[in-house]
Amino acid sequence: MSATTPQWVQGRFWMVASLVIVCLVAAFSLARVYNATRPVIEQQRIEATNRALAEVLPRATRFEEQVPDTLWYGFDGADEQVGSVIKVSPRGYAGPIEALAGIGQDGRITGIYITSLKETPGLGLKATEPRFRDRFLNRTPEELRLVQDGGSIDAISAATITSRAIADGIREGIESLRHRLPIGAGKSDPPDELDFSDPARPDQP
Amino acid sequence: MKLKYFTSGIVKENPLLILMIGLCPALATTVSARDGFGMGIAASFVLIASNLVVSLIRRYVPNSIRIPIFIIIISTFVTIIDYVLQAYQPALYSVLGVFVPLIVVNCLILGRAEAFAYHHGVWDSFLDGAGKAVGFTLVLGLMGIIRELFAAGTVFGVAVTPAGYREQPMLFMVFAPGAFLLIGILKSIVNRLTAGKARS
């Protein structure tokens, strides 16, 4: 190999120049890739948020961001507000958990969705499954505690910390944003109450 | 054309089970079949690309600063794959997360740049990179399949065991001790199979 390598390659000048050239080429190619992928990444984030919003407040067809990345109001086809969505990030077992919770105009949970968590696969990671998320449906904020904490949410077995973080996180999130949530503002329409009069508890044995 | 550079990476010089390099991602990211294969493919792209570039410019790389130059090349490709995964495979990216930037310090990739691509032509370096990449990905995928099977009762998210098993699976396979146990078992099987050949 050394036979084909020019002498100047091992010199002091080229030592600096070669590193500069490599860094410049790397920087230019990274800038190109960054510019090409950035709009796609942004789009993915927006779509992921929209999917999650629609999941936790199914009756809403349009969302309005009230507090950036924290509070949304949801409106139905007739532009009537049907509920709100809050984002909370409590501390889980292995890192922060990010969750969205939909709250109807009557103050009951219309759905929760876990947008990011780093919990143990097979244990805490089960929090993303509908089996766990459905336990929150139609609960009032006051009920959002684990059964062993005096609430009505059944914890995932062997993942109490994760379950508690989500239940407490959503309850505390609702409490801290209560003044911005139009709950019990008097304008609850009768069909809503009929919908919620049947407490679905699919996980009770 | 030296096809042996390609084939040796899969069995005879398998990075994980024979050379024993690149073990950190093999233990950390193989909690499921999809994660294992995903990590393998991401690292493969970086390995092949860095081998190609290093062999292309090797005559103009001063001996004394070759390692910094290799690291810049490798981290450039890692950042590229990081952006591409974020843009086009967000679900996989959210799982691999912190492990993607860590491909930079995967000793397999710097090891092949230093030990092979710096001394060989472009075509040979490509074959070497591709062979090691396939060997690496296959073992990562195999570990992911086995760990997911025992710890969740599924493979690629598809249930393959009775529902009773999935209620109470061997959860510990998904934790670090399970990964160490599995790589130990795989290594001992390989040692058993290659023991006769090594002595003769």
At residue A76, the 3 state secondary structure works out as: coil
DSSP bridge pairs for A114:
A99
Is the pLDDT at B89 greater than 90, yes or no? no
Query: Under an 8 A CB cutoff, do A122 and B94 touch?
Result: no
Interface test with A, best of B80, B92, B165, B168 (most A CBs within 10 A): B80
> How would residue B198 be classed by pLDDT, with cut points 50, 70 and 90?
low
DSSP bridge pairs for A111:
A102
Tokens of A44: 């993915």
pLDDT at position A141: 85
Is the Cβ–Cβ distance between B5 and B62 less than 8 Å? no
Could you tell me if the ipTM is greater than 0.85?
no
Query: Under an 8 A CB cutoff, do B175 and A120 touch?
Result: yes
As a whole number, the mean pLDDT across chain A is 82
pLDDT at position B197: 65
Amino acid code (one letter) for A165: A
Q: What is the pLDDT of residues A21-46, one digit of tens each?
A: 999 999 999 999 999 999 999 998 88
Interface test with A, best of B64, B66, B67, B86 (most A CBs within 10 A): B86
Is the Cβ–Cβ distance between A106 and A188 less than 8 Å? yes
At residue A140, the 3 state secondary structure works out as: coil
> How would residue A184 be classed by pLDDT, with cut points 50, 70 and 90?
low
Neighboring chain A residues of B59 at a CB cutoff of 8 Å: 1, 4-6, 9
C-alpha B17/C-alpha B27 separation (Å) is 13
| Nearest-CB residue to A19 (from B69, B79, B151) | B69
> How would residue B65 be classed by pLDDT, with cut points 50, 70 and 90?
very high
Task: Establish how many alpha carbons lie within 13 A of residue B58's alpha carbon, considering only the half-sphere containing its beta carbon.
Answer: 21
DSSP bridge pairs for A112:
A101
pLDDT at position B91: 81
- Residue (of B183, B38, B37, B178) closest to B97 by Cα position: B38
Counted across chains A and B, CB pairs separated by less than 8 A come out at 77
Interface test with A, best of B50, B60, B89 (most A CBs within 10 A): B60
Q: B65 in contact with A at a CB cutoff of 8 Å?
A: yes
> How would residue B79 be classed by pLDDT, with cut points 50, 70 and 90?
very high
